[in-house]
Every structure is written in structure tokens, then in C-alpha cells.
Amino acid sequence: MRQALRFIPLFKDLTSEDLDSIAALLKHVSYPKGSTIFRQGDIGNAMYLVESGQVIVWDEQAGEALAYLGPGSFAGEIALLLAEPRSASLKVSIDANLYILEKNDFDRLLKKRPAIAIHMTRELGQRLVKTSKQRFKSQIRRISALWGVDNGELVRTLSQHLKKPIAIVPLPNSQPYTPPADVPDVFVLSGKNISLKNLAEQLGVQIEIYSHIIILLPTVSNALARKAISLADTIISIGSPPDWLKASVDALAKNNFSAADTIIGSFGPPPPWRKTHAPPEKIWETTNNPVALNRIARRITGHTVGLALSSGGGKGLAHIGALKVLQEENIPVDILAGTSAGAFFGGIFYAAGWDENRHRSFAAEIQTLNKWSNWDINLPPRAGILKGRKAKDLIAGLVKHKQFEDLELPFYCVAADIMTGKKVVFDSGDLADAIRASLSIPMLANPWQIENRYLIDGAFVDPIPAKLLRSKGADIVIASSVIQALNGSHQNAGNDAVEKMPHFLKIITNIQSMVEEQLVQTQLNEIDVMIHTQAKVDHALDFTRAKSIIAAGEAVARAQIPAIKACLEATHDE
């Protein structure tokens, strides 16, 4: 214990006799996972020394980890000298055994040995001058409990993102595991000596060595398996989870023992993407499909990719070029959000499963959609010139009459409620209905009625839904935007030339552009990589330059690929 105390900076200059006096005051305490030892803002009254397990220093205001502390680490030592509010909370992430030194006991010791206070005050002064908070992007999920057989894809993607050793811990009676030969930093540890009594202690030691630990659960329920589930940050089931696993997780959730999330499924079979990305769940249920396992691995390591597609009418054709490049470069997209043109082009791209031939044919096809036979005119006009029912039917054909639940990834479609002015986000039900609502350009088309709401173009509330992606779990946000200022874009701006009054489509388009330009500023801080394509159209329904606009989006996206790959390859300590 003397040596452990000497590692604490406040004690490093004390004599062996002083250290032995402090050690005699230490009290042994144990905390289960999920406990809060002290909270940010509490007046400090003790120091803690970690014997086993792991604790997290947590900034409540920022909602992020400042440090992970394992065996031999210490926290709260400033409280021994200063009765100040705690600068952060201390929470238990793995069942922890700690030694506590209370300030009252320490104060009594200082009266007997005042030299200790002199040494500690000198060290404290130096620390206050040098110290500043060093935040890092927190990787909270460090331990996964796995049921089922991983064919190597999960571990391979974890290793790719973490770039550090990974440990596999097989519990007794778990299925045999052979690590993939092409992943060198995966180590299968022996599970023979693991017991109910020492599991937390062993994990506390291993987490200091390995970047991630995967506990292989047994085929049948037992007390050790239930303990492992309670210690895990993430519970993954490859294939349908057995009843005992569901029951164990439910029991833990009711008792607030587990930090894992909240719902296995819904009424009826869940859509494919809800098994790999639909926070929150108690169990991350997936298949052995490489795409699904890769998505799980990115979610664990904080590399979930969200793609936001902006509004912009005909300019939004640039999204098609951007999507083509992301597909060609194998850039994963885990969550998609689109507004207006972004909802339209993104929705048809992912619903129809485009290939190279479809990319080539679409530029010509979209120009055939914008013709008089597809315009159902209101006579007389009331809410809009067009009814928009034919537009909805065209959209339904392009998305192959699919529902949101049929897509392989979560898709969020943004519209606006004209009666309340509030944003409406669709993520379930009829895909064409939601896209038609998001495309309802005011005065041009009737607001689209869904249930008892009248919906218009989402550009008036959220033209580039990056914040929405963050709220849905995206760690990396890529945005494809065609929003641009009107200033200087008009060819006769600033001169005395006289020209015709703009037609109603151009007036509506420019009004929307002015709104978009203001609202997009609130989203910029949420975007990691921006694919910003400059494109010119006469109005929102102008698709005459489709081929050149798609090519422009492709060129801009290709230029951003190095930045996107840098985000994907970054680790949490970079």
C-alpha cells in the first residue's frame, strides 16, 4: 500500500513513515457497476484509490468522460486539502473495490504530523498552475457480452477502428472461438479460472491492457453469465437471443444494474436496420451478415456514420452524384436523413438499390417526370396550384412502393406542419407519403395531409438535418448540401439593366432559398465533412441540367473522400 500511495502526486515527497500513517487510515469499500461515488458539484470530503474494477471521471455538463481509472489509479485527492465542489462526477463502470481516505481522518493526522501538510500544499500549488481539463472523445463501450457465433467480421471491424489489442474472454460452456487469421491483435484469453467472485476484478485488469473485451456467453444460463451481462456495456446477439438472455437483461434493467440500452423489438418483426441501429435497445440483435456486423462494430467504437441530404429543388440532383461516389468508395452510411430534395433523392437511391446503369439512366429519366401530364391542377386553386397526388404516385413507383421498415438502414424524412410551424420527422410507414410531404412547396402544391396534419416542404424548418442525425446516434456526420446564398448569384445584380419580372416558380424558389440560407447556419457545427456543391437552376423544378449537376456533385464528393476516410480511421485518443 505504501508504494501505491507514492504514485499519488500529492504524496510523492512524503516519507515512508508518513505513508504508513496514511495507509492506516484507509477504509475498504465496494461499489457495483452503475453506482455514482460522488457527483459533480458535491463538496469533496474524501479521496479514492482503485484496487480493482474501473471508474469513470464524468463531466455532467458536457455529458462526456474525462478519464477511465483502473487498478492503482486515484481520484478526488484535492478534497483532502480543499473543501471545494467536485469538478466532475465519479461513476463505476466495472464493479470496483476502492480504498477511501476521508478528510476528517486526514485532518486529525495533519495535526499530529504537520510536515505532511507542508509537502502536500507545495505540490497542490504546482498542480493548480499546470492543470487544465483535457477532454477526449469518450469511448464508453469497452466491454461487450456476445451470444452466438461471430464469423470474424465483428472483431475485424472493431480492430480496424480501435487499432489496439482486443481480448476475447470465453466463459465456461461458451462456443469455441477461432480469431480471424488476418487480424493480429486479437487475443483469446483463458476462461478456466474465471469465477463469479473474480470476474469483475479480472475485467478491471484486462481493460487496462485491451481496447475492447468481448465476453463469450455460454449456451445455457448460469450465475456467471448473468454477472457478465451486468458488467457489459453492450449485449450482442448474433441470431435471435434465447429466452434466458432476454429474461436476464430484463431483470437487470428493472434493477438498474446494466448500462446497456432499452428494447429488443416492437410488435411484429422489426425492420432489418432496427436490429443494428435503433437506440435504445437492451440487446443489439443482428445476423452474421457482414454489413450488419460492421454496423454494430462502428456503433460500439463511436464511428456510426450519418448522411444528411439538404433541400434545394433541382439543385438536389447533386446528391445523386455524391451518393454514387460514397457507394464506389465503400463509405458506410448507417443513418440517413433528408429534407425535400434530399428526402426524394436519398429515398429513391436507398429504396431502389441503385447500380451503375441506374445512375446513368436517371439524368434522362427525371426530365420526363416534369411534364404537364404529371401535373394534376387544382381548378380553381385554393391551397396550391397542384393537387400533388400524381407526384405521390410517381414517388411510390420510384421507391418501389416500399415502407420505411423495408429499408436496410434508418431513414429520417423531414417535413413541416403548416398549422403549428413545427418540424415533423417520419421514420416509419409509407415512404412515398413522407417524401411527398417533405416536397410540398408552398403555393405550388397542396400541403400533404397525413392523419390530421397538413405538411409542407421541410426546408422551412430544417433544410439540412445534421442535428437530427446526432440525436439519432451518429458519431460522424457527412452532409451533402446544395444550399447557397442568393447574393451575387443573379446575373444582373448591381447594374441598371431592366429585365422581366420573375415568374411565380422563381419567386417561390428564391423565398425558400432565403429561408434555407439562414437556417443552415445553425447546423454547421454538427457537420464533420461537408460536400457543398454549387449548382444553378432556374427554379425548384428545373431538371434540364440534370447530367451536369449530378457530375458536379460527384466531383465535389470525390474531393472530400480523404477527409471522410480520415474521420472513419480516427481513433478515440486522436
Q: CA-to-CA distance for 24 and 40, rounded, in angstroms? A: 28
- Catalytic, 573? Answer no
Cell of 521: 447556419
Listed in sequence order, the DSSP H helices in 312-387 are 318-328, 341-352, 356-369
Q: CA-to-CA distance for 506 and 486, rounded, in angstroms? A: 12
Marked catalytic residue, from 93, 340, 438, 481: 340
Residue 436 CA from chain centroid, whole number:
28
What pairs with residue 38 in β-bridges? 90
Burial label for 157, CB within 10 Å (0-12, 13-18, 19+), is buried
Q: Please state, as a whole number, how many other Cβ atoms lie within 10 Å of the Cβ of residue 103.
A: 18
Q: Are 14 and 80 in contact (CB under 8 A)?
A: no
| Residue labelled with grid coordinates 400524381 | 390
Residues 6+ apart with CB under 8 A from 210: 164, 165, 166, 167, 187
User: How large is the angle between the packed helices 16-23 and 103-112, nearest 10 degrees?
Assistant: 140
Burial label for 391, CB within 10 Å (0-12, 13-18, 19+), is buried
Q: CA-to-CA distance for 94 and 37, rounded, in angstroms? A: 13
Residue type, 413: C
Cell of 168: 476475447
Q: CA-to-CA distance for 360 and 553, rounded, in angstroms? A: 14
| Residue labelled with grid coordinates 478534497 | 79
Marked catalytic residue, from 334, 457, 475, 542: 457
- Catalytic, 457? Answer yes
Q: CA-to-CA distance for 8 and 72, rounded, in angstroms? A: 9
Burial label for 506, CB within 10 Å (0-12, 13-18, 19+), is middle
Residue type, 455: L
Closest CA to 342 of 411, 274, 392: 411
**Rounded to the nearest 5°, which phi and psi values hold at 31?**
-130, 135
The 3-state DSSP class for residue 415 equals strand
Q: Which residues are catalytic?
A: 340, 457
